[in-house]
């Protein structure tokens, strides 16, 4: 059911804080696909687990909406971080690792196939491409994209101001895009 109401962000947050179910339905209808995309990028191997995490994310949003602070960022960014962190937590959990070990992959005929791990960053030549960056930029990209750290966590770990972290990661991504385009 698509909810046709349009809310300004501050109105939506106020309604959610008042536990307005119509506003929550609107939130789900308009943001579930984007949050699911974030989750499935992290939880690659299991659609059912991704669906469970999405449900947990919306429960957390419903329960924790009072902790949302608009001065720290947009509502979507806050929800994005909840989804990303929930997916990372799930992947790191013992139950997820156990599930992966106990479920053999099957081909289209239902036959078990040998399990192949996701390629490491060395397997696809990404380490070589990253080596073109300055060492401090390589560290930031590694922390952000391969270890799942938030900007705040990177700032704390490296003792670099958060604005500088964001700027360096952005410039590194632009530089990586240029390198990749030149190697085509």
> 60 lies in a domain?
yes
pLDDT of res. 147: 67
What CATH number does the domain containing 168 carry? 1.10.10.10
pLDDT of res. 146: 67
pLDDT of res. 102: 46
Q: Could you tell me which residues come within 8 angstroms of residue 9 by beta carbon, excluding any fewer than 6 positions away?
A: 70, 74, 75
Query: Into how many domains does the chain fold?
Result: 2
Question: Is 97 found in the same domain as 153?
Answer: no
**Gyration radius of the chain's alpha carbons:** 20
> 39 lies in a domain?
yes
pLDDT of res. 96: 55
Contact 75, 12 (CB under 8 A): yes
User: Which neighbouring-strand residues pair with 106?
Assistant: 112
- Tokens 């962190």 sit at which residue? 85
Flag whether the pTM goes above 0.85. Answer: no
Question: Is 79 found in the same domain as 37?
Answer: yes
Question: Is 134 found in the same domain as 93?
Answer: no
Contact 54, 84 (CB under 8 A): no
Question: Is 19 found in the same domain as 76?
Answer: yes
Expressed as residue numbers, the domain containing 154 is 126-182
Distances (CA, A) of 167 to 37, 38, 60, 164, 174: 25, 22, 30, 5, 11
Question: Is 93 found in the same domain as 38?
Answer: yes
pLDDT of res. 22: 94
> 143 lies in a domain?
yes
Alpha-carbon span 26 to 43, nearest angstrom: 25
Question: Is 94 found in the same domain as 130?
Answer: no
Question: Is 70 found in the same domain as 140?
Answer: no
What CATH number does the domain containing 25 carry? 1.10.1740.10
Question: Is 97 found in the same domain as 44?
Answer: yes
Residue ranges in the chain whose pLDDT is less than 50: 1-2, 100-123
Question: Is 93 found in the same domain as 132?
Answer: no
> 115 lies in a domain?
no
- Cα 14 → chain centroid: 25
pLDDT of res. 82: 94
């Amino acid at each position: 059911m698509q909810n046709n109401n349009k809310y300004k962000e501050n109105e939506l947050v106020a309604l959610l804080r008042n536990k307005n179910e119509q506003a929550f339905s609107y939130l789900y209808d308009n943001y579930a696909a984007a949050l699911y995309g974030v989750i499935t990028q992290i939880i690659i191997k299991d659609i059912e687990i991704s669906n469970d995490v999405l449900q947990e994310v919306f429960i957390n949003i419903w329960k924790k909406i009072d902790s949302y602070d608009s001065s720290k960022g947009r509502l979507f960014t806050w929800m994005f971080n909840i989804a990303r962190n929930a997916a990372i937590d799930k992947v790191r959990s013992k139950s997820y690792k156990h599930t992966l070990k106990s479920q053999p992959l099957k081909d289209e005929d239902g036959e078990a196939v040998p399990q192949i791990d996701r390629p490491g960053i060395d397997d696809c030549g990404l380490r070589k491409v990253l080596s073109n960056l300055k060492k401090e930029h390589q560290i930031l990209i590694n922390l952000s994209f391969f270890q799942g750290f938030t900007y705040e966590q990177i700032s704390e770990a490296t003792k670099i101001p958060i604005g500088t972290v964001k700027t360096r990661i952005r410039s590194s991504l632009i530089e990586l895009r240029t390198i990749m385009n030149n190697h085509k």
